[in-house]
A and B are shown apart, each in its own frame.
Chain A
Amino acid sequence: MSNLVILPILIPLLAGTILLFFPRQLHFQKWISVIALSLTTISSIVLVQTVFNNGIQTLELGGWKPPFGIVLVADMFSALLVLTGIVVSFTCILFAFKSIGEDREKHYFYAFAQFLITGVMGAFLTGDLFNLFVFFEVFLMASYALIVIGGTKIQLRETLKYVLINVISSALFVISVAYIYAVLGTLNMADLGARVAEYGQTPLLTVIAILFLVVFGLKGGIFPLYFWLPGAYKAPPYAVTALFGALLTKVGVYAIFRMFSVIFTHEPQITHQIIAVLAGITILIGAIGAVAYSDVKQIIIYNIVTAIGVIVFGVVIATEIGYAGAIYYLVHDMVIKGALFLLAGAMFTITGTNKIKEMGGLIKRHPLLGWMFFLAALALAGIPPLSGFVGKVLLTQAGLSEGHYWFVAVMLLSSLLVLYSVMKIFLNCFFREEVLTEKEEKGSIKGLVYPSVILIAISVFLGVGAEVVTPYIMQAAETLADPTAYIQAVLKE
């Protein structure tokens, strides 16, 4: 029992509720947001440290013992994601202070952002399948609002599709929950894992596993189900896209990891094989998309898809090193995607366009922005000593030792394509002759670069300080590779 587990959910929820009452006091809104996010950051740092020292933390809500009551579980995997998630959201909100505009602020932007964080943190921390659904709905509801706030034509058009896709996937989620409850008679993830281990994974359960893969794949954006992602993420302003790109898809990935490492681990030749093929195609599709477009936002969006494929393959390798690589890459990707979107947002503020062709020579007047983008691009492609490198090394090592040669080939090839796609932005937008003179610039980026400087600093730390980070990652990977620890911690048998 540890009340620490609920704090990352409770603080944003309270803050969001307070913000709802004062839509016009913008200074007050900003202060409350900063205070709430700082408190949440502190509590998640404490949470990570507590989990590191004392093992998996659980909180039985209302004192009902699992598997009957609702339980919140923080193992190292969820604690790390909570910490990364909150840090990235913090920087996105800081970016929004300067860039989102008074109109959106008055329409409850900060409140919805807090509710989005509530839902994401809840999804990371819950140990119960139906609760996972509820928290999914919480952050989806907030994301519907965030994506449409402002009400431009393209936003309305894309939100319609985004809402429709998510309503259908939520219905599928309920249906899968119904089936798994009918078969196993419980919804607690640890209990489900224990029961599947005891009674064996029947073909019916394998079908249900695939159904869950469809549901979470739709949220996460793996290969055939990523089609909604480029449109929906392109519509809102950059602060929102950064939040979405760093958090929302990763929740789907987190759920896939949880389901296929704790519950459905006994038929890997079917379920994990399917995931392997889909992950491989996802990487390729993402890389091809990133190379094909000449629109800054679209290129980074397709890089999300590539990263999802790389991370999800960690489930397929399913060894400790494989999981460690995937978790390292997941943490790195949340940080660096946030940074890239924020930097692209700053570029958009200067030029008023996303098209590479209409930009050029930005580095002359904005050297900090340029070099930060350069660092982010290198980190994204996995150049040492930045953060992407360690994850890719671990994944390559684990992939080779488990005989997934084609995956390693695809991943390394995709690294080149990813590097090409971001370097295309860097070379064309920052070098080349100048397109805009100083007077023609659309806006000032005063204060807009610093949030991404924080993220890039974290990325450098993740790469250079791998010694410090690795024990945490390895502990998370151990729990994933051997779910009995997770099951015992929750059920206390």
Chain B
Amino acid sequence: MEILMTIIAGILVASATYLILSKSILRIVLGTALLSHGAHLLLLTMGGLKTGAAPLLGQNADSYTDPLPQALILTAIVISFGVTAFFLVLAYRAYQELKTDDMDKLRGNENE
């Protein structure tokens, strides 16, 4: 299971890299969303996977899943959700104002 999860995280990060390297802002935003998904999945896998146990440490529990990675991911997901939403709004606003979504045309210009 760990191997599968790691491979999926790798695929997510690879597709994210591909998307981030493209020119269109919308693709880049989707790429960053995928990138954070990959990172979260890695965080979950790295905490150690166990099947069939709740992430609670009861009085008589003989097995339990480490709750910390799940808490970390919950926080990280909320943050990346917020950032993605902000990024989408920003991209839309920039498209309205600058009339382009091509990153090549958004290069720095000294005369501005």
Binding site for B on A (CB under 8 A): 130, 133-134, 137, 141, 144, 148, 151, 153-154, 156-161, 163-164, 167-168, 170-172, 174-175, 177-179, 181-182, 187, 231
Residues of chain B lying within 8 A (CB to CB) of residue A170 = 36, 79-80, 83
**Given the complex of chains A and B, what is the CA–CA distance between A157 and B103 in angstroms?**
9
B32-A177 in contact (CB<8A): no
Chain B 71-104 residues near chain A, CB threshold 8 A: 72, 75-76, 79-80, 82-83, 86-87, 90-91, 93-94, 97-98, 103
**Mind listing 23 A-B residue pairs with CB under 8 Å?**
A134-B75, A144-B86, A156-B90, A156-B94, A156-B98, A157-B108, A158-B108, A159-B90, A160-B103, A160-B106, A163-B87, A164-B28, A164-B87, A167-B32, A167-B35, A170-B80, A174-B76, A175-B42, A178-B43, A178-B45, A182-B46, A182-B48, A187-B68
The reply to whether the CB of B55 lies closer than 8 angstroms to some CB of chain A is no
Residues of chain B lying within 8 A (CB to CB) of residue A231 = 108
Residues of chain A lying within 8 A (CB to CB) of residue B47 = 178, 181-182
B28's closest neighbor in chain A, by CB?
A: A164
B41 CB, min distance to chain A CBs, angstroms: 9
Binding site for A on B (CB under 8 A): 20, 25, 28, 32, 35-36, 38-40, 42-43, 45-48, 68-69, 72, 75-76, 79-80, 82-83, 86-87, 90-91, 93-94, 97-98, 103, 106, 108, 112
A157-B86 in contact (CB<8A): no
Contact status of A167 and B98, CB under 8 A, knowing A134-B75, A175-B39, A181-B47: no
10 new A-B contacts, CB < 8 A, other than A168-B32, A174-B36, are A137-B83, A144-B86, A159-B90, A170-B80, A170-B83, A171-B36, A175-B39, A178-B46, A178-B69, A231-B108
A157-B83 in contact (CB<8A): no
**Given the complex of chains A and B, what is the CA–CA distance between A141 and B85 in angstroms?**
11
Residues of chain A lying within 8 A (CB to CB) of residue B97 = 151, 153, 156
**Given the complex of chains A and B, what is the CA–CA distance between A161 and B45 in angstroms?**
30
A167-B36 in contact (CB<8A): yes
**Given the complex of chains A and B, what is the CA–CA distance between A231 and B86 in angstroms?**
20
A141-B83 in contact (CB<8A): yes
> Among the listed A130, A141, A158, A174, which residue makes an inter-chain contact with B82, where contact means beta carbons less than 8 Å apart?
A141
Residues of chain B lying within 8 A (CB to CB) of residue A153 = 97-98, 112
**Residue with the highest number of chain A CB atoms closer than 10 Å, among B47, B87, B90, B112:** B90
Residues of chain A lying within 8 A (CB to CB) of residue B36 = 167, 170-171, 174
The 5 A-B residue pairs with the shortest CB-CB distance, nearest first, are: A182-B46, A178-B43, A178-B46, A174-B39, A156-B94
A160-B39 in contact (CB<8A): no
